[in-house]
Every structure is written in C-alpha cells, then in structure tokens.
Amino acid sequence: MARRALISVSDKTGVIEFARQLEQRGWEILSTGGTYASITGAGIPARQVSDVTGFPEMLDGRVKTLHPAVHGGILARRDEDHLGQLQEHGIGTIDLVCVNLYPFRETVARGAPFDEVIENIDIGGPAMIRSAAKNHAGVLVLVDPADYPLALADAVSDTDRKRLAAKAYRHTSEYDAAITAYLEGTSDELPTGLPQTLTLTLDKAAEVRYGENPHQPGAIYRLGSARGPVIDAQVVSGKPMSFNNFTDADAAWTLCQELSAQEAAVPEHAAVCVAVKHANPCGVALAGDVKSAWERARDADTLSVFGGVVAVNRPVDLAAAQSMRGTFLEVLIAPDVSAEATAWFAEKKPDLRVLIAGPSEHVSVLDVRPLTGGFAVQERDTRPWDDLCPETVTTREPTEQEWLDLRFAWATVKHARSNAVVIARGGVTVGLGAGAVSRIWAAERAVANAGEGARGAVLASEAFFPFDDVVRLAAQAGVSAILQPGGAKRDPEVIAACNELGLSMVFTGSRHFKH
C-alpha cells in the first residue's frame, strides 16, 4: 500500500517541489483548499480530503479535516489492534502530516477587524498537528518548510521524529498563546490586570555574538506579534548589533520618543537628542536642529558619552553626521538618515551602527524581568505627565521656564535607574546621578556633574525625599526649583527647607522607580 501524505499549508514556501518529490517516491498526496489547487495546478496528482471523508468542506471551510477518516489514519498505532480497527472501517493510514496554520498573528499585525481575525483561528490544523505529533513513532509531522528535505530521506531516526514532534507542539502552543493574548487584549468582558497564568511566546528576531559578556550566550527575541523600533530597525551602516547595543538603543529611543511627545516641554518641531550609557541617560538635549541637539547632549557629559548610544527624533543630515566626527559612538538611531550622511558614516565611521527606526506599533505593554526560577511581570510605566496632578507646595511658584525644565527633567529621570536625580536647565541635562543606593549620593553625583551649570537649574527626583538633605545640597549648588513625587513622612520638613532657602518645589504624586 502506498504511503499517504496529508498536505495543507498556509505558508506555501517550497510545498510544490516537496509534493513533487513525494509523488516521485510513490507517495499518495491528500490535500485541501488552496494547497490542493496549488499542487494540482503544478501538474502533481493529489486527492482532496473530501474524497476520503465522503463529506464536502462545510461552513465556509471551517470543517474540512475533522473526521475519523483523517484522524483515525493519523492516530492509529502501527500495531495489529489499531490497524485491524482501521481496516474494519475502511480507513487508510496517513504517514506524513505537513501542516502550518492560518496566518493569525500576521492578520492581527496588519490591523484586521475582529471578525476577520477570528476567521483566521485555525481549528483543524492544530488538531492534525497534535495528532501526528502524538503518534510521531508512525507519522512524520512537518510544520516548517526547512524540514521538508528530512522527510525525503530513506529513513528518519527516532531522534529526528521526536525533534519534529516537539517542534510541532511548540508551533501550536505559540499559536494558542497568540490567540489568548489577542482575546485578552480586545474583549471588554474579560477581567483587567495580569492573568493567573501568563504564556510568553518568544520568537528569535536577531542573532548576536554573545550576551552581556563574552562568556554568556545570547539572542534577541520578539514577544508575540509585537514590533519594536529597535528590533525591527533598518541597519543602514556599521557592524552587526550586539546584545548590549540592543538594550541601550531601546533605552535611548524610548526616552527620545517620550520627550518628543511632551508638547508642553518640547517646542514644536524641536530636535531631541538622547545619549545613553549602560541603559542610563548621560546627556539629553533639545535644540532647533539635530546637529545642535547632539552637540548640547554631548557637551552635557563628554566623558560618559564616549562609547555611548545616541537617539534623535529628526532625520540626520550630513551636517549632523559630520558633527559626530570626534566622538566614538556605538549606535546612532534616528527616524531617517540622508543618503549623504549614510555614505559619510560608512566611510568615516565604519564601525558605528546606524539604524533607521519606524514608529512603535503593536508594542507589548508588559515589562518582563527575570528572577531565579521565574519572572517579575508588570505593565510598562507609560503614565504621561497629563495624567498627573502637579502641585506647587512651596511659597514660591516656578517660573514659566522652570516649569518647562521641570517637565523635561521629569521625563528624563523617569528613564534613569533608581535612585536617580536629574539637573536640567534650558532644555539640556547638566547633571545626572543614577543607580545610586542612596538618594543623597545620586544628588551629589548630579551636582558634581553639573558644576556651575547647576546655577539657575531645576532638579527632578524619581522618588520622594526621605530627608531635607537633597534640598540643602541643591540650594547650595544654585538650583532654583525641585520636582519630586512627595509622600514622605518628612514632607513638611522638606517643604520648610525649600521655603527657607527660596526654592520652588512641585509634588507630582507619582513615583517612577526603575530598578
């Protein structure tokens, strides 16, 4: 009896040649719908599954393969008992199942309406894949065109059969996870918050040489159908991205985009430049053009920017590119780079990775961090300024310029590792202290970094002040206004210190820890 293969694929890559090779080796081919039309259209003999089941496709194609003539042929053990039962009911074995699923994630990604997305939930496909994978000792299961050559071999080892079965179950589990995530994100009837069981579907998006350090293997993965401006950026010049390049570029671009959206703090059409080192901002600036914004951000901390990652919110022209000549940078990410600038980077800075990033679409709202034996999961901190209720708690009100700088500093400190303090003046950071185990130490680092630049500047803290020591340090350095969440037991003492020293203080009522 000829061996039988059931082929029904959404991704038709290589399927015609695969079917032709099977037919030449004496296989009988069963198929459905568009796959059947493609195979027979190429002159390859095939039978429709409906000829085997005795039933036509029903319900607009929702029911095609859900039948004992199909699943019996797949699931039967190749022993006397099961084969005898098949023979009694006139059912033949199916020895190869080549199936991949309706393009559910792709349908979601292009923004299709709900009803169309639902119709792209495959039912028969996962059932056949799971049946074949369960009976992998007697049935080859293929979900990936890359595995077609293996099925054409004279014999397939038990090890390869198990590997293909595991790959098949991974394929269906990822598919189910994508459906679950979509429905939880679109149904008004489902409970809000994080579910009791959370399935994370990660697909490898990029290879890197190693992780944070050379002894750590690493790779970059995409979460579900999410698209990321850095993961999906176009690299137009420079070396391949490293693990650390990806994380730093993502941090830089995220802050750059948040500042761009701060209409009250960032003048219309202003250029924003964010320099990041080890995931912390080290220089952030606004200006009328990219060249000037870069120069202001660079000059904010010329030592730390060396070897850093830079993001800008406006296209990079040749003048902006040439202004980066004297500084070693790892990555530049922008919404566009002119042809002249790209050519200049390729010639003058061949190691610099130059990325063009698109808009952030279908970005996951989850912030997932590893723990030993698990993960800490939360929603991303995307709370905008307009959602806050800032309140001046001192006698002195901030000036108009101080308000602009306070909002600018608040957006920046939100993206610095806690404990964090940012000093800013005139749309540029003049001092940053981040990742300190004490708030006063973070403030001391920011003040030392600012030097004389602190005079007339503002200070923002991502969390409240437990004491008035930061206020007194800031006043001594010449800072004129402070922004912090408030909510500490000693708030009255902190406010009194500001009034005593003539400083303005604003409470936002919202903490922004970033560990």
Which one from 12, 82, 167, 278 is the annotated catalytic residue? 278
Spot the catalytic one: 134, 167, 215, 348: 134
State the Cα–Cα distance between residues 473 and 406, nearest whole angstrom: 18
H or E stretch at 275: strand 271-277
- Give the C-alpha separation, 244 to 36, whole Å: 47
Give the position of tokens 């010639």: 347
Bridging pattern class, strands 271-277 and 280-287: antiparallel
Task: Return d(Cα 8, Cα 315) in angstroms, integer.
Answer: 46
- Active-site annotation holds for 278: yes
Alpha helices, DSSP H only, in 353-428? 400-413
- Token pair 């000549």: residue: 325
3-state secondary structure 178-191: HHHHHHHHHCCCCC
72 backbone φψ class: left, alpha, beta (φ>0; ψ -120 to 50) = alpha
Q: Which residues contact 131 (CB under 8 A, 6 or more apart)?
A: 71, 74, 75, 97, 139
One-letter amino acid for residue 84 of the chain: G
By CB atoms closer than 10 A (0-12, 13-18, 19+), residue 65 is buried
Task: Identify whether the C-beta of residue 142 lies closer than 8 Å to the C-beta of residue 148.
Answer: yes
Helix, strand, coil percent values for the chain (each to nearest 5): 40, 20, 40
Q: What gap in Å lies between CA 309 and CA 252, rounded to an integer?
A: 7
DSSP 410: H
From CA 249, how far away is CA 478, in angstroms rounded?
33
Active site residues: 134, 278
